[in-house]
Structures are given as C-alpha cells and as structure tokens.
Amino acid sequence: MRRVQVGSDESVQATASDAAAGKLSAASLGYFEDRFLEVLVGAAGAPVPGTAEATTPPVRRLPPIINRGNFARVSCMEKLVLEFIGTSPSHPSSVPHHVRGDGDEHPSHKTDCKESQSSIEEHLARKPQVISLGAGKDSLFFRLMDRGTAASGGYFEVDFPAVSRWKGGLVAKTPILSALANDLYKLVAADLRDITALEDALIIAGVDLAAPTIFLAECVLVYMEPADSGALLQRMGCLLPGLEPYPSLLSQEERFKKSGWDSANAIDMLQVFQELLDPAEVRRASKIEILDEIEEWELIMHHYCLVVAAKGEDTVARLSGNPVLSR
C-alpha cells in the first residue's frame, strides 16, 4: 500500500482503491467469498472522482503474505459485526449473569438492579446499527445483505463527500448493488475531523442515538492527526488501529479507558488469525497459497492490532461472550 501524507485528503481518498484491490486479490483466489468487490474496484480500475490515484486493473494478484493478511482483516471485521448485531434481547442467555440481575448479586449492585435492568432491556430492544467510518469501497453491507444478516437498525457508511457521491452513483447504476441497497443503507458525506458536522450528518441520515451501535474504523484513523482522531474517539467511539503515540496493546486499551470507555481489549492481528477466527477457515485459507515467509508474516501481523471498546453494560454484554476479547 502506498504511503500517504497525513493531511492530504486526495491521497487518503485514494487508499479506498488500494484496500479494495487488495481484498479483491484475496477474494479472487478463494480466501473468502465476495462477488461485489470487482464492481466496487471497477471494470476498468476507474479511480474515485476527485482523486489523483492511478488507474489499475480490477484484479491485481498480490503476494501470499498480503492475501493472507487481507483474509484475516476481512474475516475478523465480519465476525465481530455479526456477533454484535446477532445478539437478541429475546434470548436471556445472551446477557451475562451480572447484567441480567438474576441469582446472587454484589451488594453494591442491589439498589439500582431493577432500574439498571430496565434500562438495559430498553436499550437492547432497539435495533442494532452499524456505522462504518471511512468506509471507502468496502463491501461488508452488501455481503451481509446478500446472506440476509444485515443490521436491522441500519448500516451507515461515512466518508468524504467525493467518495460518498461516487459510491452512491455506482450503487444506483449497478443492479448487483442497487438490488440490495434498501432503506437500511445510508451513505453519509462527512469529514471525520469535523465532529459537529459529522454528528449532524449522522442524525439527518437517521442514526438512532439510543440504539446499540458498533463503530468501524478499518485502517482509517492512522491517516488522521492524533488530535483529530482523539477527538473523534472521545465523541464517537471507534475501533482504533495503531498510532505512533500508542505503540503497545496496553497503551491502546488505556487510551480508550481514559477517554471514558467501560471496557477495551486489544489483540494483535496474529492472535486474531490464530485464536479469533474459525479454525477450519484458517486451515482452509492457509492451504490456498504456499507461504514461505513465516517469520515476516508473523512480524507484520504483530504490527497491526484489533481494538474492541464498549460503553454501557448492555453494549459490553454484546461483546463479552467472545473469550478472546473478554479475558
């Protein structure tokens, strides 16, 4: 992937095609199924309007080490979203014991038990929604809709106005996309550095401020100045990749907790690959291409991380069932 200058909107927007082309390389080899990427990358490798990126072929085969990394990236994001939106308030077992309020309670919890439980149930009764920050050419919504597993509360993709206009035009004129883009799907044109305008745009788009919400920021905030990404973190919440001031997993977790989050768990991408993903899928993907650079692969995966943070007992409950992320 090209190194971009922080603060250059044009070069940051160009990374949308880099990411999609990388995922398309992996998908074309069978690492995962995605029949929408080729359309999003473009039949002729067309660039996003308003950017200076070079036109590239739709399927550019990348090295095995990159393809396997994209498999881990796509698989873990999809797994977390499905786990979050798949939690149903109609299943009491989906809420941990201390949140449900049944059985023995800690003495400090008894006074507010009924009020807390009522608040949690009211919150969980609202339909979960997904807000993808800097979504670019991502295809997750269409993959979920294609399988009938999309978030019932809405799927909101946020990106620069130029990118949002381009994607909206592509969806409108492409049957394979427009057939799935129902009222749940909203493109939100906003600059992530302008928090007030971003919040206004999300509200106008129909975001339910009281609903369980998962924010995604997939390799996005590394292109923002730390002050801007920090402001976004405190106001909105997101999955935060590594930034220079936060070089360790512990520092990533502490950043969230100091910003007012109730829980934060960070694991590197090698641990994601080895422990979080479906073992059968990992074995299958590992057989697609021969990978000789094992040490380099492990080194690269150690340099990327997944951070999952949550606010509110009810939201923490949605993520606490994953043993890798709750230990």
Q: Which ranges constitute the DSSP H helices of 29-85?
A: 37-41, 64-85
83 is in an annotated binding site: no
177 is in an annotated binding site: no
Tell which residue, 138, 104, 156, 160, has the closest CA to residue 21: 138
Distance between CA atoms of residues 199 and 201, nearest Å: 5
Residue 36 Cα to chain centre, angstroms: 17
CB contact at 8 A, 71 and 291? no
CB count, 10 Å around CB of 48?
23
Backbone torsions φ then ψ of 266, nearest 5 degrees: -120, 135
With 0-12 CB in 10 A as exposed, 13-18 as middle and 19+ as buried, what is 272? buried
100 is in an annotated binding site: no
- If you ran DSSP here, which 8-state letter would residue 254 be given? H
3-state secondary structure of 186: strand
159 is in an annotated binding site: no
134 is in an annotated binding site: yes
Q: Which ranges constitute the DSSP H helices of 279-321?
A: 279-286, 294-302, 313-319
Distance between CA atoms of residues 277 and 83, nearest Å: 12
CB contact at 8 A, 312 and 123? yes
Q: Which residues are annotated as a binding site?
A: 73, 134, 191-192, 218
Binding residues for S-adenosyl-L-methionine are 73, 134, 191-192, 218
